[in-house]
């Protein structure tokens, strides 16, 4: 197997390592060179090293991938790598010359698509080169042979005494060339046909001689099948070389069809009088098939055969630009399969691909002939219902939903039930551009999932929840900018001990800087960060900034008893988390026993095995753990004994009313007693007044946290 020489341009060490491990684990035939910056990549590109392909990350330390485009040879294929939610940047890269793109995900699953993507890009580039070379060669051959034949036949006509000898010589020549050749007189009657023309037309020379050219050389338009006259008639009329339309089919006498290209040239005697025509044509069926395949793959999803996102968005733009007739109604449906990830994770990507193909077949049987059904990516589909009322669109969407709900996917003797969440909207004057339309459709689909899945959510102009969800999308760009420019600030909130404790004990909280509104609290941007997969990056930044602060401020580190850092549910699912924390603390030379990582009960329940393993690993390194919002789950006590946490943070919903509500008081007391029985210390949140504080002290809670004790204060760098 030929090895592929690859240039990886990636500044993130973790992503570099993930790539190297993936190549080694999968035993991929890649010889790769790594460039960690644009400057380094430029130096490598001007060196004598030849590469078959470049894998280019968008965001780099000294610029973006677009800064490197002009340094990359036009013949070198580029696979563009973006972060989650950077579809517009990827589209821009494709327009500027990238061959394909991949979207990073937190778990690194995008690497699984790498071998296929590289193979497809290299294959497409090879076919493109071969096709161009073949086309150029074919054009030269036709031109050269046509001129040679014209010259030879004219000479033959000019010398009467050598007519027989020259005629025999021409026939031998014509029989030996690779193109099909037919000569006629001025009436269009065939005088000669070579073996290649015999094979393509199905007529032998003896049968064809004396026949009119239109009886032997039957051609039609490829698309309309409308019959065409041979170019010989036009050549006789104009006395010039003529050719055919590119999309022409030759109908063989025996029923076969060939894509051809041809030219007809007049034959003159020594006085310049036209004596007949020579028709030269060649079989370009294979070349045209390759051209069609390339065009098809550029507009269709290779797995399902549906039109791809690019074409679908073009059709949406057309609708947006043609809304001059207010009586015309058009509907856009955004579909997202429910439980697809369960099947993909439990049965593998092969099963997931088969499921997508079967779902495509179901959808095809239900949509109208005029509707556009497209795969937008992953397990997401789009349907454009042109000239369709909102009521009719909703009816069709529910038919689709019911059809998917009734379907059972069979794999390895297992049966799976799936569903589909659908966001449905009318393409109205409200939407000024494609982005607003897509954002609202995605938000409507998400609302359908949030309402219980397997349902249709119809968007209306006054839909407050959708507008709120759409607003979250606007946060993506702001958060990415904040991450790039380190606009996040750390605050600390004291955790007070009911007994004597040496040193400071506090929880770190994050705030976002805004030029107009000052510091933005986390409840304003965290939902958007969680929705669009940015929490792992934010958590990384918080950990790095916190560790850097204590490494640079030895007095704060000496005064510290315990610092608590929050980890989101998305971050807990990242394979790199353990290595990242241990390497960061080792790099800064920090004592692990002074740091506690806090996870919510909900996050722990949703991925109990993964969280339990991570806690054990980090505790072996000396770190502590706290379980936040304890008591909010339905089975809190049932799984608590399996989680080796050091602290229980009692959910503030119980704490805030313990002075008025005896049930809440009993709940807090019960959680505290069971926590102590299991050897864990307890922390009560939402301590907002002295009465709550005294009640907690009365029942023996270990720590208290809240605005009455201390509001959050800046962790000053």
Q: Are residues 284 and 308 in the same domain?
A: no
Q: Are residues 433 and 484 in the same domain?
A: no
Of residues 99 and 684, the one with the higher pLDDT is 684
Averaged over 23-27, what is the pLDDT? 89
**122 in a structural domain:** no
Predicted pLDDT at 464: 60
Q: Are residues 570 and 656 in the same domain?
A: yes
Task: Kindly report, residue by residue over 342-390, the tens digit of the pLDDT.
Answer: 888 778 888 889 999 999 999 999 999 899 999 998 899 999 999 999 9
Distance CA 281, CA 175 (A): 14
Q: Are residues 414 and 319 in the same domain?
A: yes
Residue-averaged pLDDT of the chain:
85
Of residues 264 and 477, the one with the higher pLDDT is 264
Q: What is the CATH number of the domain that holds 392?
A: 3.30.70.270
Q: Are residues 620 and 643 in the same domain?
A: yes
In this structure, the number of other CB atoms found within 10 A of the CB of residue 267 comes to 23
Task: Kindly report, residue by residue over 235-284, the tens digit of the pLDDT.
Answer: 888 888 887 766 788 888 888 888 887 778 888 877 788 888 888 888 88
Q: Are residues 517 and 628 in the same domain?
A: yes
Distance CA 509, CA 495 (A): 13
Predicted pLDDT at 635: 47
Domain total in the chain = 4
- DSSP-derived pairing of the beta strands 703-704 and 681-684: parallel
Predicted pLDDT at 263: 79
Q: Which segment of 203-207, 397-401, 520-524 scores lowest on mean pLDDT?
A: 520-524
Averaged over 667-680, what is the pLDDT? 90
Predicted pLDDT at 420: 92
- Among residues 399, 431, 462, the one where a domain terminates is 462
pLDDT band with cut points at 50, 70 and 90 for residue 509 = very high
Closest CA to 302 of 135, 441, 113: 113
Q: What is the CATH number of the domain that holds 31?
A: 3.40.50.2300
- Among residues 107, 125, 156, the one where a domain terminates is 107
Q: What is the CATH number of the domain that holds 671?
A: 3.20.20.450
**116 in a structural domain:** no
- 219-227 CB contacts, 8 Å cutoff, 24+ apart: 219/244, 219/248, 219/249, 219/250, 219/251, 219/260, 220/248, 220/249, 220/251, 221/245, 221/247, 221/248, 221/249, 222/247, 222/248, 222/249, 222/259, 223/247
User: What's the pTM?
Assistant: 0.45
User: Residue 393's beta-bridge partner residues?
Assistant: none
Please give the radius of gyration of the chain, using alpha carbons only, rounded to the nearest integer: 36
Of residues 401 and 146, the one with the higher pLDDT is 401
**75 in a structural domain:** yes
Q: Are residues 522 and 659 in the same domain?
A: yes
CB 475 within 8 A of CB 487: no
**114 in a structural domain:** no
**294 in a structural domain:** no
Task: Kindly report, residue by residue over 572-588, the tens digit of the pLDDT.
Answer: 888 899 999 999 999 99
Predicted pLDDT at 556: 92
Predicted pLDDT at 707: 92
Closest CA to 410 of 421, 399, 418, 402: 418
CB 337 within 8 A of CB 422: no
Q: Which segment of 90-104, 518-532, 533-547 scores lowest on mean pLDDT?
A: 518-532
- Of all residues in the chain, the percent with pLDDT exceeding 90 is 32
pLDDT at 516 exceeding the cut of 70 = no
Q: Are residues 276 and 387 in the same domain?
A: no
Closest CA to 7 of 32, 25, 30: 32
Q: Are residues 281 and 247 in the same domain?
A: yes
Which residues have a Cβ under 8 Å from the Cβ of 693 and sit 6 or more positions away? 687, 704, 708, 709
Task: Kindly report, residue by residue over 116-147, the tens digit of the pLDDT.
Answer: 888 888 888 888 888 888 888 888 887 887 78
Domain hosting residue 500, numbered range: 474-714
- Among residues 264, 289, 314, the one where a domain terminates is 289
Q: Are residues 95 and 142 in the same domain?
A: no
CB 261 within 8 A of CB 230: no
Q: Are residues 539 and 622 in the same domain?
A: yes
Q: Are residues 24 and 140 in the same domain?
A: no
**613 in a structural domain:** yes
Task: Kindly report, residue by residue over 586-642, the tens digit of the pLDDT.
Answer: 999 999 999 999 988 777 777 778 888 899 999 999 999 998 888 765 445 666 777
**489 in a structural domain:** yes
**175 in a structural domain:** yes
Averaged over 402-421, what is the pLDDT? 90
Distance CA 342, CA 451 (A): 19
Report CA-CA distances (Å) from 265 to 142, 144, 173, 270, 584: 11, 12, 17, 16, 78
Averaged over 304-329, what is the pLDDT? 84
pLDDT at 106 exceeding the cut of 80 = no
Task: Kindly report, residue by residue over 183-241, the tens digit of the pLDDT.
Answer: 889 888 988 888 888 888 888 988 888 888 888 888 888 777 888 777 887 888 888 88
Q: Which segment of 101-115, 402-416, 549-563, 681-695 scores lowest on mean pLDDT?
A: 101-115
């Amino acid at each position: 197997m030929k090895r592929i020489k690859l240039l990886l341009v990636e500044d993130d060490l973790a992503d570099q390592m993930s790539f190297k491990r993936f190549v080694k684990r999968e035993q991929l035939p890649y010889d790769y060179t790594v460039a960690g910056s644009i400057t380094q990549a430029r130096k490598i590109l001007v060196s004598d090293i030849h590469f078959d392909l470049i894998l280019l990350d968008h965001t780099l330390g000294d610029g973006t991938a677009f800064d490197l485009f002009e340094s990359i040879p036009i013949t070198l294929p580029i696979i563009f790598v973006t972060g989650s939610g950077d579809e517009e940047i990827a589209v821009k890269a494709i327009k500027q010359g990238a061959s394909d793109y991949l979207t990073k995900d937190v778990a690194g699953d995008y690497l699984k698509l790498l071998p296929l993507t590289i193979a497809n890009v290299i294959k497409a580039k090879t076919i493109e080169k071969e096709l161009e070379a073949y086309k150029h060669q074919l054009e030269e051959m036709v031109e050269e042979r046509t001129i040679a034949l014209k010259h030879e036949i004219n000479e033959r006509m000019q010398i009467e005494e050598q007519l027989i000898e020259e005629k025999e010589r021409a026939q031998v020549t014509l029989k030996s060339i690779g193109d099909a050749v037919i000569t006629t007189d001025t009436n269009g009657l065939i005088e000669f046909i070579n073996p290649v023309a015999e094979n393509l037309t199905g007529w032998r020379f003896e049968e064809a001689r004396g026949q009119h050219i239109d009886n032997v050389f039957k051609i039609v338009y490829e698309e309309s099948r409308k019959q065409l006259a041979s170019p010989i008639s036009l050549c006789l009329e104009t006395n010039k070389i003529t050719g055919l339309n590119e999309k022409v089919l030759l109908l063989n006498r025996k029923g076969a069809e060939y894509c051809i290209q041809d030219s007809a040239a007049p034959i003159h005697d020594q006085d310049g009088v036209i004596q007949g025509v020579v028709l030269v044509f060649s079989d370009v069926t294979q070349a045209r098939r390759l051209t069609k395949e390339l065009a098809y793959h550029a507009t269709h999803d290779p797995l399902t055969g549906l039109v791809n996102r690019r074409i679908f968005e073009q059709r949406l733009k057309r609708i947006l630009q043609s809304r001059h007739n207010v009586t015309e109604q058009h509907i856009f449906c955004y579909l997202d399969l429910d439980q697809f990830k369960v099947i993909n994770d439990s049965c593998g990507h092969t099963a997931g691909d088969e499921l997508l193909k079967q779902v495509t077949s179901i959808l095809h049987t239900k949509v109208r002939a005029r509707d556009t059904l497209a795969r937008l990516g992953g397990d997401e589909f789009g349907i454009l219902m042109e000239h369709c009322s909102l009521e009719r669109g909703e009816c069709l969407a529910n038919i689709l939903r019911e059809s998917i709900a009734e379907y059972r996917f069979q794999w390895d003797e297992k049966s799976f039930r799936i569903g589909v969440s659908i966001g449905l909207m009318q393409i109205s004057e409200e939407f000024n551009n494609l982005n607003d339309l897509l954002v609202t459709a995605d938000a409507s689909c998400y609302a359908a999932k949030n309402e219980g899945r397997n349902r249709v959510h119809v968007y209306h102009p006054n839909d407050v929840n959708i507008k709120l969800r759409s607003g979250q999308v606007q946060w993506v760009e702001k958060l990415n900018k904040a991450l790039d420019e380190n606009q996040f600030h750390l605050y600390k909130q004291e955790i007070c001990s009911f007994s004597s404790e040496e040193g400071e004990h506090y929880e770190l909280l994050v705030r976002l800087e805004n030029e107009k509104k000052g510091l933005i609290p986390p409840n304003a941007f965290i939902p958007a960060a969680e929705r669009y997969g940015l929490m792992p990056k934010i958590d990384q930044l918080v950990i790095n900034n916190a560790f850097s602060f204590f490494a640079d401020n030895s007095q704060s580190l000496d005064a510290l008893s315990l610092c608590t850092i929050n980890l989101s549910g998305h971050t807990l699912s990242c394979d790199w988390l353990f290595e990242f924390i241990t390497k960061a603390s080792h790099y800064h030379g920090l004592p692990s026993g002074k740091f506690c990582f806090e996870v919510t009960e909900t996050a722990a329940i949703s991925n109990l095995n993964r969280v339990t393993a991570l806690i054990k690993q980090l505790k072996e390194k000396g770190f502590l753990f706290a379980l936040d919002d304890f008591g909010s789950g339905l089975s809190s006590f049932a799984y608590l004994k399996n989680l080796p946490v050091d602290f229980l943070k009692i959910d503030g919903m119980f704490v805030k009313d313990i002075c008025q509500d005896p049930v809440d008081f009993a709940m807090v007391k019960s959680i505290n007693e069971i926590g102590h029985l299991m050897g864990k210390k307890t922390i009560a949140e939402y301590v907002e007044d002295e009465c709550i504080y005294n009640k907690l002290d009365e029942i023996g809670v270990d720590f208290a946290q809240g605005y009455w004790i201390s509001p959050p204060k800046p962790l000053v760098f």
